Structure 1
Amino acid sequence: MPFSAAVVTFPGSNCDRDMAVALESVTGRAPLRLWHGDAELPGGLDLIALPGGFSYGDYLRSGAMAARSPILKGVASAANAGVPVLGVCNGFQVLTESGLLPGALMRNKNMHFICRDMPLRVENAASRFTTGYAAGQEITIPVAHHDGNFFADDETLDRLEGDGRVAFRYLDNSNGSRRDIAGILSPAGNVLGMMPHPERAVDAAHGGTDGRILFESILNALAPA
């Protein structure tokens, strides 16, 4: 069966096309484009992607209004049924605001927008998003955010660490995220939220291909044994 992915667009999304282009480049098939107001998701999806941007202009809190969009009920149901969900940047913020992932994304510690390549370390290479990497591998993925400072209380952080749910960690923590966390997984491992943009690192002409491995990992995880 061909790989079936969907990219959700919210008012203010600006990385949805980047995500769609990256998915088509890796899978050979253009993803479905879904609108935030869609009340139901199509069946048979292999991946749901929540892209970066500034949904609803980041009013209230980043991702807070998008987390109440009609489509999030379908996303939550799919995630609870085991469908992989990837939230990048604003998508990560939506996942925390909707309760699909713990913690919150706060204003960067220096109060400035950060846009540059960021060195990361792969902490969990066993999830369906990361099997193409090696544990401890250092990679470079671009970031572009103003509210990427991951916060959670010590109990939550200890649980994330103990359960192996920290997927990526910053090697140069310029936004202030606690314990240098750049990306986390859900308890079942099928939901990944990360601030860095892997969809911007799939083509060597754009400066690097370390993000391509993430999408290839998802694709290969669904390949017949």
Structure 2
Amino acid sequence: MTVSVIRFGGSNCDRDAVRALDALGVDAEIVWHEDALPADTTGVVLPGGFSYGDYLRAGAMAARSPIMDDVRDLADDGVPVLGVCNGAQIGCESKLTPGAFTTNASARFQCEHVNVRVENADTPFTAAYDEGDVLTLPIAHGEGRFEIDDQRYDDLVSEDRVLFRYCDEDGEMSEEANPNGSTGAVAGVLGERDSVAVLMPHPERATLPELGLTDGQGVLEAFA
């Protein structure tokens, strides 16, 4: 199998994703956004960074790259697609997942470790965890606030499509534990298929033991 990690101008987490996937025994390669996806692509990662300098809105310009038409086609066929940080913004802008990521409530760029609670363990991206598990993952974003209208938020909850919520180390949600002011403290969601997911924290930065955190391994193991 081959996981294609798409590099846009401004991506800076593509090599991190490849290294983390390689460490899990997954064949991964970087694909420039102006090139075609390899014919043997069996998974796609939209990595973090600052595609197109976050002009207009974060992820808005990358979402209109021709390669995203191919990504949407693969997603419709059930091929796993994971968007992380800027990749999550691209995923929402591409309508792979609902909602939008907007400027943090603090109006500042935030780079720190946060806690997230597993809300649904019955997905390819969370099958390595149990519902209610608390993970420690890094964030690094200025536009990570997940926003969605009330009706669609209720739909996400009723359809069990919320993957992670920000919480404290005991798994409790609070305003203080929600680093960017996201609606419902949502940190990650599923698309209409459970093979498509986006999340704002970085699992690839919490996969290699030498980095000090391994809580993100389970998310990337979905591709294996």
Q: Indicate whether the TM-score tops 0.5.
A: yes
Contiguous gaps of at least 5 residues in structure 1: 220-225
Task: Measure, in 1, the Cα distance between the counterparts of 2:208 and 2:197.
Answer: 22
Match 2:128 to one of 125, 132, 145: 132
Structure 1 residue 116: deviation in Å? 0.7
The size of the alignment, in residue pairs, is 215
Whole-Å Cα distance in 1 between the matches of residues 202 and 160 of structure 2? 21
Q: Which position in structure 2 is the counterpart of 1:103?
A: 99
Q: Which of 25, 34, 37 is the matching residue for 2:34?
A: 37
1:80-100 Cα offsets, whole Å, 9 max, x none, are: 111000000000000111111
Query: Residue 143 of structure 1: which of 117, 139, 143 is its match?
Result: 139
Residue number in structure 2 paired with 1:173:
178
C-alpha displacement of 1:43: 2.6
Q: RMSD value over aligned CA atoms?
A: 1.0
1:32 Cα shift?
2.1
Aligned-partner residue type, residue 4 of structure 1: T
**What runs of 5+ residues in structure 2 fail to find an aligned partner?**
168-176
Distance in 2 (alpha carbons) for counterparts of 1:104 and 1:170: 17
Which residue in the other structure is 2:171 paired with?
none
- Using the size of structure 1 for normalisation, the TM-score is 0.93
Q: 1:58 aligns with which of 37, 54, 73?
A: 54
**Alignment TM-score, normalising by the size of structure 2:** 0.93
In the alignment, which residue of structure 2 is the partner of 1:194?
A: 199
Match of 1:223 in 2: none
* 1:24 and 2:22 matched: yes
**Counterpart-to-counterpart distance in 2, 1:53 and 1:79:** 22
- Measured in 1, the distance between the counterparts of 2:142 and 2:101 equals 10
2:121–2:131 CA contact under 8 A, matched in 1: yes
4+ long deviations beyond 4 Å: none
The percent of aligned pairs where both chains have the same amino acid is 48
